[in-house]
């Protein structure tokens, strides 16, 4: 990756200057070469002289000149300049830049991958909705953020494990049990009240009707004590089937579906309670067991086991993180949680610290709320899901690609508006259409060339010297940097922005440079190769976002 190569050149120049006594021997701060805000200053810039000035007791411009004069030769560097108050600016060599087209084509589907993660194992846990109803659009955003983040981390060199934590026990399941039992009896013709705290929406009515059609009154005959738990298990299984189908159609997959109930079956829960008690972190009060969070800097203590003996979901979460870090040995874990879990982050970290686990091993991405609109009108309710908008409704209306692009288009910590009308529009106003059309346009050009017997594999990339051609190569070379930056910052929203920029740069090239020219075969071959390289980069970006790269539109 050229950014890292230039950073290494600067480090070598500093080392030489120190050995020669031109710069004092002192610790060099981490200062990677970056892209300047003003591209007129060059392709990359180093601010290291400004960072060294105080400790070196030298003027930044003098430091910059000392470094510039000792930079090793590199075929990638066309020119180096020093600018006030102490920048070192790099401009890439046009010949080297055009030859990178061959590198991009050669790497094909792996273009952009970097070794930032160095094979480290990392678990990404996301969605993890209760199996008590259909997924809503908030879950959909978390699903897309989590799956795109996992893809980014894999491209950045991590060994990624994707996990869905199935909350199949606890208070919410008790509420579901009462709800599905009531709907079942109603479907059998009984006049029974629906629980006030029950799960609304038509999906349980539909579920009960299906059960009655398939199995009649079998569960009522078993009696409530045996029949209700059996019906609940069936209901949760059906809900999980629905959730899996929604996620599959959204392009989301998992390596593991981890059952919360298993934590109580394999001893994880008991082990955690025992370790917390041994560490002096448990307090019995009012018949309940409390985790003494205040002793670890939290604002209040938190109940782990209610006076009824039922564990809280906080107790399950502690046991779950104990299992993932201690039992399964993941060095790092990333949780993608909804906005309603924001206050839960610090107490979970406090709890795993109480177990002797470094809380820095856990990172949490909070996915903020989604507002659905049709133009200026806010969409508020879904008949299927009750007082929420079901993800399936949005998937059916705009498709998976539009869902994924729009859900990714804002940083996770920002609330977002999702305009359903815009997502369906087949025009350049719709960013999904705009990006995918760029890929389809390239595919069309390459098909046209093939039909005319034009071959690009032997094209001479050094012929690509036009400003629009060089700008396109520069934009493609930004992908490896973006993958590393996005993986480090856990920022998958950078992908759709890059995709838009790459599509715009290609459209600009397409307008300014005639790709297929009857009177210049060598340049045609070179530009066709450039088009193929762009297709590779754009397809890789779309794939990382979990979107399709259409050949025709």
| Residue where one domain finishes, among candidates 92, 108, 131 | 92
Whether 227 is covered by a domain: the verdict is no
Are residues 452 and 535 both part of a single domain?
yes
> pLDDT tens, 320-364?
999 999 999 999 999 999 998 998 999 999 999 999 999 999 999
Are residues 82 and 152 both part of a single domain?
no
Whether 102 is covered by a domain: the verdict is yes
Whether 393 is covered by a domain: the verdict is no
Cα gap 25→56, rounded to integer Å: 8
Are residues 60 and 135 both part of a single domain?
no
Are residues 353 and 502 both part of a single domain?
no
Strands (E), 174-301: 256-259, 282-285, 288-291
Are residues 359 and 297 both part of a single domain?
yes
Number of domains in the chain: 3
pLDDT at site 389: 87
In sequence order, the β-bridge partners of residue 109 are none
Is the distance from CB of 503 to CB of 438 less than 8 angstroms? yes
- Per-residue pLDDT 10s for the chain (553 aa) are 899 999 999 999 999 999 999 999 988 888 889 998 888 889 999 999 999 999 999 999 999 999 999 999 999 999 999 999 999 999 999 999 999 999 999 999 999 999 999 999 999 999 999 999 999 999 999 999 999 999 999 999 999 999 999 999 999 999 999 999 999 999 999 999 999 999 888 899 999 999 999 999 999 999 999 999 999 999 999 999 999 999 999 999 999 999 999 999 999 999 999 999 999 999 998 899 999 999 888 889 999 999 999 999 999 999 999 999 999 999 999 999 999 899 899 999 999 999 999 999 999 999 999 999 998 888 876 544 556 789 999 999 999 999 999 999 999 999 999 999 999 999 999 999 999 999 999 999 999 999 999 999 999 999 999 999 999 999 999 999 999 999 999 999 999 999 999 999 999 999 999 999 887 899 999 999 999 999 999 999 999 999 999 999 8
Whether 43 is covered by a domain: the verdict is yes
pLDDT at site 387: 63
Are residues 262 and 160 both part of a single domain?
yes
Are residues 449 and 537 both part of a single domain?
yes
Are residues 35 and 147 both part of a single domain?
no
Are residues 134 and 283 both part of a single domain?
yes
| Residue where one domain finishes, among candidates 349, 367, 385 | 367
Phi and psi, residue 158, nearest 5°: -90, 155
* CATH code of residue 487: 1.10.730.10
Whether 294 is covered by a domain: the verdict is yes
| Residue where one domain finishes, among candidates 367, 391, 418 | 367
Asked if omega into 85 is within 30° of 0 (cis), the reply is yes
> pLDDT tens, 282-330?
999 889 999 999 988 888 999 999 999 999 999 999 999 999 999 999 9
Are residues 267 and 142 both part of a single domain?
yes
Who contacts 523 (Cβ-Cβ below 8 Å, separation ≥6)? 463, 517
Whether 252 is covered by a domain: the verdict is no
Is the distance from CB of 143 to CB of 250 less than 8 angstroms? yes
* CATH code of residue 45: 3.30.1360.70
Long-range contacts of 468-471 (CB under 8 A, 24+ apart): 468/508, 468/509, 468/512, 468/513, 469/98, 469/509, 469/513, 469/527, 469/530, 470/94, 470/97, 470/98, 471/505, 471/508, 471/509
Are residues 24 and 153 both part of a single domain?
no
Helix (H) or strand (E) run with residue 81 in it: strand 77-83
CB count in 10 Å sphere of residue 445? 19
DSSP assignment of 485-549 equals HHHHHT-TTHHHHHHHHHHHHHHHHHHHS-SS-TT-HHHHHHHHHHHHHHHHHHHHHHHHTT---
Cα gap 178→228, rounded to integer Å: 8
Query: What range defines the domain where residue 499 resides?
Result: 97-116+428-544
pLDDT at site 28: 87
* CATH code of residue 316: 3.40.50.620
Whether 217 is covered by a domain: the verdict is no
The stretches of 86-187 forming alpha helices (DSSP H) are: 94-107, 137-155, 171-187
Are residues 106 and 144 both part of a single domain?
no
Beta sheet of 362-367, edge-to-edge order: 256-259, 159-166, 121-126, 332-338, 362-367
CB count in 10 Å sphere of residue 78? 16
Whether 416 is covered by a domain: the verdict is no
């Amino acid at each position: 990756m050229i950014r890292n190569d230039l950073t290494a050149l600067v480090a070598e120049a500093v080392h030489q200057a120190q050995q020669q006594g031109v710069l004092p021997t002192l610790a060099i701060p981490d200062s990677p070469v970056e892209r300047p805000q003003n591209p007129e200053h060059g392709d990359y810039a180093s601010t290291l002289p400004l960072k060294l000035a105080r400790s070196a007791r030298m003027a930044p411009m003098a430091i910059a000149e000392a470094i510039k004069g000792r930079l090793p030769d590199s075929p990638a560097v066309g020119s180096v300049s020093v600018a006030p108050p102490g920048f070192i600016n790099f401009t890439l060599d046009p010949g080297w830049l055009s030859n990178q087209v061959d590198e991009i084509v050669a790497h094909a589907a792996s273009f952009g991958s970097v070794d930032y993660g160095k094979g480290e194992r990392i678990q990404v846990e996301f969605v993890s909705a209760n199996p008590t109803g259909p997924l809503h659009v908030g879950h959909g955003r978390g699903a897309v953020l989590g799956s795109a983040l996992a893809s980014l981390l894999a491209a950045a060199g991590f060994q990624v494990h994707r996990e869905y934590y199935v909350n199949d026990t606890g208070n919410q399941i008790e509420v579901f049990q009462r709800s599905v039992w009531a709907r079942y009896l109603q479907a059998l013709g009984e006049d029974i009240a629906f629980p006030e705290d029950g799960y609304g929406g038509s999906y349980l009515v539909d579920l009960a009707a299906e059960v009655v059609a398939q199995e009649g009154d079998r569960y009522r005959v078993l009696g409530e004590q045996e029949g209700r738990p059996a019906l609940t298990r069936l209901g949760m299984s059906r809900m999980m089937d629905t959730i899996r189908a929604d996620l599959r159609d959204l392009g989301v997959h998992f390596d593991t579906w981890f059952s919360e109930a298993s934590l109580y079956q394999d001893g994880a829960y008991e082990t955690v309670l025992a370790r917390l008690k041994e560490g002096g972190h448990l307090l019995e009060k009012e018949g309940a067991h409390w985790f003494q969070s205040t002793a670890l800097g939290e604002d209040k203590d938190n109940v782990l086991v209610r006076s009824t003996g039922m564990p809280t979901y906080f107790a399950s979460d502690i046991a779950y993180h104990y299992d993932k870090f201690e039992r399964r040995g993941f060095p790092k874990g990333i949780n993608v949680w909804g906005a309603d879990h924001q206050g839960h982050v610090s107490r979970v970290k406090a709890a795993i610290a109480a177990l002797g686990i470094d809380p820095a091993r856990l990172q949490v991405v909070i996915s903020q709320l989604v507002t659905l609109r049709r133009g200026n009108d806010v969409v508020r309710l879904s008949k299927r899901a009750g007082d929420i908008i079901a993800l399936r409704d949005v998937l059916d209306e705009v498709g998976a690609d539009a869902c994924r692009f729009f859900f990714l288009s804002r940083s996770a910590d920002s609330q977002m508006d999702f305009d359903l009308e815009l997502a369906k529009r087949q025009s350049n106003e719709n960013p999904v259409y705009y990006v995918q059309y760029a890929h389809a346009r390239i595919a069309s050009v390459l098909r046209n060339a093939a039909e005319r017997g034009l071959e690009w594999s032997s094209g001479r990339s050094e012929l690509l010297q036009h400003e629009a051609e060089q700008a396109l190569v520069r934009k493609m070379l930004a992908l490896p940097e973006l993958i590393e930056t996005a993986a480090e910052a856990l920022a998958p929203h950078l992908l759709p922005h890059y995709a838009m920029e790459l599509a715009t740069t290609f459209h600009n090239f397409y307008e300014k440079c005639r790709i297929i020219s009857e009177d210049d075969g060598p340049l045609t071959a070179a530009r066709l190769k450039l088009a193929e390289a762009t297709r590779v980069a754009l397809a890789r970006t779309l794939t990382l976002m979990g979107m399709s790269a259409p050949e025709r539109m």
